[in-house]
A and B are shown apart, each in its own frame.
Chain A
Amino acid sequence: MPPEGARDGAPSGGAPGSAAPAGGVDALADAVLQGDKRAVARALNLVEDRRPSARDDVAALLERLAASDTDGGHRVGMTGPPGVGKSSLCAALGRTLREAGRSVGVVAIDPSSVRSGGSLLGDRARMSFDPGDEGFFVRSLATGGQAGGLSYAANSAARVLGAAFDVVLIETTGVGQSETDVMHLADTVALVIQPGSGDALQFLKAGIMEIPDVLIVNKADQVALARRAVSDLRGALRAAKSAGLVDAGAAWEVPIVPTSAETGRGLDSLAHQLALHHAYLLAAPGGVRARRLRGDVEWTLSLFAHTYGAHGVSTLGGRANLRLEVRQSLEAGETALRLVDTLGQRYLDALRTA
């Protein structure tokens, strides 16, 4: 028996089980832009929906959001090894930003079980929040099939949250592909490490890890250890620079920020550094959009590859050619989802004529 809400049709738009937003995509998008939590939740349900029937609505929603929103929020990727305090930090940073009058959306990604496809989305448990606060919102997403990477919906979800809130924090699983994926999604990538663990350091030195925009040493309530970690990181950055792994002439100096999600230490300074990096991006030629374009190209490619496989990619001329084409189309104002559909159509046509 369908319960009341569903029967009179009121909240069915993106209600847990349904795709088509009642009142239409435009109304939903407008409510999202107002920062209406219920609308945001429904929009997220919609972008998570993988049914072909939802596709058009998702594309329309994202298009409308992109068209009406000025900057799409500041997207910050929070990445780093398991257990360093990413979730705790998202909550603590969230509080700091809220106090400064900024609204905050969080996308927290956790891995799905390979055996069952299910997941235990544990980040939320670490994010204490005020349930009455209209300006703080957390959605947990499971990686689904994509081993190690971001969730299918993460990219769209970040867009929805970005349209509704000032800052979007994207917490990755901290392993495998997710690090690279988040580089393509976030405007600012913050790598979180904890004192006394050498991994990140080794990776930075060896150039295995791309250099993030901000380095965070969390759990800096362990004062002495944290001090060591900061100076070690400083050394590693210098080494990376002299090894040519970082553009020595770049205007952005990667800051190293010690924080404690427990005591609140360093959070103001973290918020400040993130804002500085955002300002730096805005001031750069092409602004944030230039940086996002690169990410969107990769996102489009991976969506296409995910749906149509390697054969799809090679049929349309191979990865390099396809990337070039995608970039041009996106530059011309096409959106990722529509483009994937267009390309998909071309692939299917090619199959038919072959």
Chain B
Amino acid sequence: MTLRSNRRDVLKLGAAAGALTGLGGWGLAQDGRGRTQSTPAMEGDEAPTVKRVIFIAMAGGVRTRETFGTPANVPNLQMMADDGVLYPRMRTSNLGHFGATMSIFTGISEARGIRDNARGTDPTMFEYLRKDLGLRQSDVWVTTSGGPQQTNYSYSVHPDYGPKYGANTLDGDGIFNKEFKELLDTYGRPKAMEESEQDLLDKVRRGIGRTEDKAENAAATENAAKVERYILEELTRGTSTLRGANSGDAKALRVARNLVSLFKPKMTGVVLQNADIAHGSFNGYSEVIRRNDEAIGEIWTAVKEDPELADSTAIFVLPEFGRNKDLNSRRGLDHGDGSDDLRYVSGVAWGPGFGKGRVVKDDVRTIDAMYSACDALGASPELAKGQKLKRLLA
């Protein structure tokens, strides 16, 4: 038995003990799948439980001044904060977009090159969730907007985690774009495979290559078939035609919304990027924030209107860092002045059992959010350096 499984067993025992003795204000509850999670100890009523999380890294560098400092820009996020918990003092690390966003998912602030295009060394939230909760790959998705670099968030090269615990990662703009759709239209969609041909195909694949490949084949087949089907269907849904300054972000958010409704994953991560247009255009940046708020609002509505999701889904939204205090010579906003506008951002958390209309003025960190998301679902990010977000629960 590994140290980890020991630890989980201890947690389970703790859960049972907590339930039996009703200790303190907080107990640990299990949901029948061996998961443990912190829930308010409520008498009689069933404690609200988080079964799914939507985690939106509003990356690209977004200041509080243009979000909760200008509520007209973010009516949906404001409503979410009014019904959830707002953290106006989230401390960030200026590590460049790639490093800072990576740290949101790993819970560890670590320097990375701005254009590094490689997996990180620390496990991500997605790996913790899959490993701790025994989730399938199709339960954990990440949609992104920033091209190939961002697909590195799906898993790390950590020897105890890594690709076998990775998330399905889709870059909205990379796949659902005009050129790719046209290419598919030119070539003609692949014919649906008859069942007998599929069986033969599996048989041939099994007959080829090394033994390890056979296992790899079998494990990948179920997930691959699901992803294949999803991509081909999504290409007919109009995501490819989304336009505008935030088109990459809009696609990432649209894909996320569709995934949430279709597959109801345990974890749906979203990584945005278009706000970085701010380097050259303040107005464009504000427009991106407004449009992204609208698209986040659509996801929130989809959650609230789905009876299976409404009372069991938590949403976290936070930028990776802010931007400079002053405009640059192009009337844009860079990032690198070390100001509080850059170093502190505002994040919001909404979900069952979370506080309502609460503003937590204390300093927290952007790396704390993943800790709380994992905790809400019952996973423990053992290597993360963050801690649970303060005063999150009701």
Q: Do A and B come from one complex?
A: no
Residues of A that sit less than 8 Å from B by CB:
none
